[in-house]
Structure 1
Amino acid sequence: MSANKPDENPLQPPWLNAPPVEEYPFEESHDLRVGPKLHPALDGLLPYVGVWRGRGRGGFPTIEDFDFAQEIRISHDGRPFLLYESRAWILDEQSRPVRPAGREVGWWRPVLSGDRATDELEALMMSPTGIMELYIGKRSGTQIEFATDAVVRTSTAKEVTAGARLFGIVEGALLYAQEMAGMGQPLSPHLSARLIRVAG
């Protein structure tokens, strides 16, 4: 048995004092022309991959209606799921930016039967306001319909109890409508938007 060097502690893991690593070595892409090959299970979701920007309208029974702009990035890294990232900002009557609005990050993944994707989907969506939603959905052509299976909130988050989302690719644009239940209100329209592909 060899003796330990003076500066080594056998009880410490080897990574504890290791130097920093290089940047993330695996590609993620929202452009199907470059980067890793799209996983075959995602073929039905291929039209959604890209960077989308557009405008929408929001509201809820407990708040005033508002106009917003939004960017959605949908990318992949070669594995059988999509990364969904969204950031929005409020617009005034002249379509000028007023302030940042909702942000979300999530993952969409097809339900597999053996090695093949079915039309059923699972999605996990999270916001920095302390809300995490688990959606179960189904794809029909270029349309996806999601409904919440569970909503988890932190103690400081607003009360959200259920949600539904409808996505579709219509004449090359990404359209969606989102409903929400919470704050004593039943499932009600909350957000809708039309976004144009700007990359990917």
Structure 2
Amino acid sequence: MVSENPMQPPWLNAPPVEPYPFEETHDLRTGPNLHDDLLGLLPFVGVWRGRGRGGYSTIEDFDYAQEIRISHDGRPFLHYESRAWLLDEDSKPIRPAGRETGWWRPAAGGDEVEMLMMTPTGIMELYLGRAEVNPPRLEVSTDAIVRTPTAKEVRGGVRLFGIVNGELLYAHDMAAVGQPMQSHLSARLVRVGG
């Protein structure tokens, strides 16, 4: 029963709501239609899983596994979610590693893309760049970086995503912790869903 007390907001005692009613999907055969503005990014939609190699001049190189989910809900942006885990020399999981979430948005005019990425370590990055359709390729570089007071110092980044022989390949270069722009991560992922 909704409260009739004018000092109390009407939602305070309202009945519970049903689960979120709008589907988000990484499978283009189900759910809402892909927004027309996203047609250039269509090959990236799906669930991708694979291996990569990481490193930086301030840390030892490492091997990792990763899953990336790129989905949509019918509106003109893609949701990006990535989680990675470190692997030992026998390819066995050691522990969770990097995690991030964000949105890819085509800008007006077609091939320009805005990418917003956030990590639980207190870093928010805004990337701007271009998407190419044939072959599917997305290259972006940082336009702005916001950090919490406890986050590592990151000054810049460049990311490259491409679909090659049906696989998602990417590279991430970074300028951070007083070091110049250099290779940080690269991986090859295969489509496992979508």
TM-score by length of 2: 0.96
Kindly indicate whether residue 184 of structure 2 is the aligned counterpart of residue 181 of structure 1: no
Q: How far apart, in 2, do the equivalents of 1:112 and 1:23 lie? A: 33
Percent identity for Structure 1 against Structure 2: 73
Q: Which residue of 2 aligns with 1:166?
A: 160
Q: Is 1:122 the counterpart of 2:118 in the alignment?
A: no
CA deviation map 1:106-133 (0-9, x unaligned): 00010124xxxx1000010000000000
Aligned equivalents of 1:163 and 1:17: distance in 2?
Answer: 47
Matches within 5 A, 1:103-122: 103-113=99-109, 118-122=110-114
Cα RMSD between the aligned structures? Answer: 0.9
Work out the CA distance in 1 between the residues paired with 2:20 and 2:93. Answer: 33
Partner of 2:48: 52
Deviating beyond 3 angstroms after TM superposition, the runs of 4 or more aligned structure 1 residues are none
Partner of 1:4: none
- Residue aligning to 1:38: 34
Aligned length: 190
2:34, 2:4 → 1: CA distance? 45
Secondary structure of the residue that 2:41 maps to in structure 1? helix
**Which shows bigger deviation, 190-199 or 138-147?**
138-147
User: Does the alignment pair 1:16 with 2:12?
Assistant: yes
Q: CA deviation at 1:20?
A: 2.2
* CA–CA separation in structure 1 for the residues paired with 2:101 and 2:21: 21
Alignment of 1:56-135 (within 5 A): 56-113=52-109, 118-135=110-127
Equivalent residue letter for 2:190:
I
Matched residue SS, 2:43: helix
Partner residue, 1:138: 130
Q: Max radius of gyration: which structure?
A: 1
1:34-84 C-alpha deviation (Å, 9 max, x unpaired)? 000000110111100000000000001100000000000000000000000
Q: Does 1:191 align with 2:185?
A: yes
1:8 Cα deviation from its structure 2 partner = 3.4
Q: Structure 1 CA distance, aligned partners of 2:165 and 2:32?
A: 27
Report the residue type matching 1:188 in the other structure: Q
| Matched residue type, 1:168 | G
- Separation in 2, partners of 1:17, 1:31: 38
For 1:137 and 1:150, locate their aligned partners in 2 and report how far apart those are by CA, in whole Å: 13
